[in-house]
Amino acid sequence: MIISTKKGTPQAEIDRIIDNFERQGLSVTLIRGTDYNVFGLVGDTTRIAEKDVLANPWVENVTRVSAPYKRANRLFHPEDTVVNAGGVPIGAGAPVAVMAGPCSVEGEAHMCQMARLVKQGGATLLRGGAYKPRTSPYSFQGLGTEGILALVKAREETGLPIVSELMDEAHIEEFERYVDLVQIGARNMQNFQLLKAVGKMTKPVLLKRGLANTVEEWIMSAEYIMAGGNENVILCERGIRTFETATRNTLDLSAVPVVKEKTHLPVVVDPSHATGDYKYVESMAIAAVAAGADGLEIEVHNDPQCAWSDGAQCLKPDRFAETIRKCRLVAAAIGRTM
């Protein structure tokens, strides 16, 4: 950590600063400049908050040199992590995973039909929302337990492991029992109580990036889960909020190489929520594979206009199969299986 103080900082204050950090077990080097004094801190600075240091009015700015995360940090775990999601390995050299299915679970028969269709099209996991985070209290809020059981039935019929979103601690037991990959949605990425709770689960976690969260904050949320004891975290880029309105969100594909540089965790991409428009899903899915993503999460519905939620971003099964076919060619071109 590097701290600079203003011109004219009194010697007593400089001594106080050095003394304060040394008492915390850090080694401090002082560099005197013309306009600023700079302090270099060596040691474990994970527990020091920039904002507390900045409370000193003599301090001009604070820069963290080491990343504030440890368990997720590639520096300390150079090898890629492979997460096992209900039998499907995700990450490193494993085949690019394909999570597909409708936005909301719409009943058992429909779910089983969709499971067969997405499996045919190339899916390796089945997605479906039983608990739905909806902007409006007047929108459909999900089938709940009935939806989870429909997913379980579809898994029995097709063998596809299931991915579903957990929205609160009250359903942790249900998810621990039935779901193969527990999704934490974008709006809950910094619901720290929930992160702590899933940190104690044995099931792997798919952590979506928040709409307005930096890559560092996203990794810190993974760190929360890992610090709780659950090291099986997969990161999922799903678009960030920007000024652009031509797409629902702006897919930040460069997050894929950034995450891979900074962490050892697998990263998957959700082109459906990122673009919000079925017309752009295919090209962004192909681009995600080309960028090195370890998996895709894609919404598929046999009749998007009648989907119970998010129809505009659903692919029909045929278009989905065609998209995966193209993704496989691109995966092969970059030396990866799918």
Q: Between residue 234 and residue 293, which ones bind a second copy under the rule CB under 8 A?
A: 240-247, 250-258, 261, 274-280, 283-284, 286-292
Quote the distance between the C-alpha of residue 217 and its chain's center: 10
Is 325 near a second copy (CB under 8 A)?
A: no
Q: What separation in angstroms does the CA of 279 have from each of 41, 276, 319?
A: 51, 9, 10
Cβ nearer to a second copy, comparing 107 with 276: 276
Query: Taking the complex as a whole, how short is the minimal distance between the CB of residue 81 and a second copy, in angstroms?
Result: 18
Is 75 near a second copy (CB under 8 A)?
A: yes
Is 7 near a second copy (CB under 8 A)?
A: yes
Q: Given candidates 11, 23, 32, 202, which one binds a second copy under the rule CB under 8 A?
A: 32
Is 65 near a second copy (CB under 8 A)?
A: yes
Cβ nearer to a second copy, comparing 82 with 312: 312
Cβ atoms 115, 154 nearer than 8 A: yes
Size of the site for a second copy (CB under 8 A): 114
Q: Given candidates 15, 24, 134, 159, which one binds a second copy under the rule CB under 8 A?
A: 134
Is 80 near a second copy (CB under 8 A)?
A: no
Is 122 near a second copy (CB under 8 A)?
A: no
Q: Given candidates 190, 302, 321, 322, which one binds a second copy under the rule CB under 8 A?
A: 190
Largest CA distance in the chain: 76
Is 220 near a second copy (CB under 8 A)?
A: yes
Site residues for a second copy, 81-120, by CB under 8 A, read none
Q: Given candidates 4, 158, 164, 232, which one binds a second copy under the rule CB under 8 A?
A: 4
